[in-house]
Amino acid sequence: MTPVESPRCRVLLVDDHPLFRRGVMQLIAAQPDFEVVGEAASGEDGVALTHTLNPDIVLLDVDMRGMGGLLALKQIKESGADTQVIMLSVSDAEINLVTAVRSGADGYLLKDAEPEEMLEKLRQAARGEVIFTDSLMAMLVDAMRSGTPAPSTDEALTERERQILQLIAAGKSNKHIARQLGISDGTVKVHVKNLLRKLHLRSRLEAAVWALNHRTA
């Protein structure tokens, strides 16, 4: 009996630098577990193609002419698209990083990352994990410690929600959380939605940073 192959992760790349875009597309397309389904050179086209192609992952450049990546991210998330949006940037500017996280980004990678690191991070994203370049972690925690509007404790959360929050902080996907806790994926999604609402957070990535922040505060 022939084993059933896992579906490839479908990626849309949005970046206004042709050489960088071509290089990343070639890198991703060479991997057996990924498929590049489209490319765009502007935020406007990226938003439109996200709705048309429904990719699993959108790689979205922060700094683009016209509609920038942060505005495109906001529009994609507000549309309810079922896709993960990973921001790409040449800069580790704190304001862009924090704005992206609070706008619902599922990850943030620097463009100067080694190809192997980028691929590993994308594979983590394909498993439903939140990702960002390791060097940005301390900056993100510090920034959110100084300015987050969220409650300073998780007292509003149920015990199950606290468990799920810590697993999100550990980088676990909904499927892994469901398996570990012995509940359904749908139940995990409901708990995640509720804990984000109670903590006034907008994304799993923001929740992960919030949990790490308060664990070390």
Question: For residue range 174-187, what is the model confidence (pLDDT) as tens digits?
Answer: 888 888 999 998 89
Task: Please tell me the predicted confidence (pLDDT) of residue 208.
Answer: 79
pLDDT at residue number 170: 78
Place of tokens 């479908």: 10
**Which carries the bigger pLDDT value, residue 150 or residue 206?**
206
3 pLDDT above the threshold of 70: no
Give the residue-averaged pLDDT of 80-109: 85
Residue 137 has pLDDT above 80, yes or no: no
Is the whole-model pTM more than 0.95? no
Q: What is the mean pLDDT of residues 5-34?
A: 91
The pLDDT assigned to 105 comes to: 87
Q: What value does the mean pLDDT take over residues 101-110?
A: 86
Share of the chain above pLDDT 90, in %: 42
C-beta contacts of 35-40 below 8 A and 24+ residues apart: 35/8, 35/9, 35/10, 35/11, 36/11, 36/12, 37/10, 37/11, 37/12, 38/12, 38/13, 39/12, 39/13, 39/14, 39/15, 40/12, 40/13, 40/14
The share of the chain scoring above pLDDT 70, in percent, equals 86
Show the domains of the chain with their CATH numbers: 9-132 (3.40.50.2300), 150-216 (1.10.10.10)
Looking at residue 217, what is its pLDDT? 41
What type of residue is 205? L
| pLDDT tens, residue by residue, 156-171 | 889 999 999 988 887 7
Answer whether residue 6 shows pLDDT above 50: yes
- Check residue 97 and give its pLDDT: 82
| pLDDT of 152 | 53
The residue behind tokens 């920038």 is 68
78 CB neighbour count, 10 Å cutoff: 10
The pLDDT assigned to 216 comes to 42
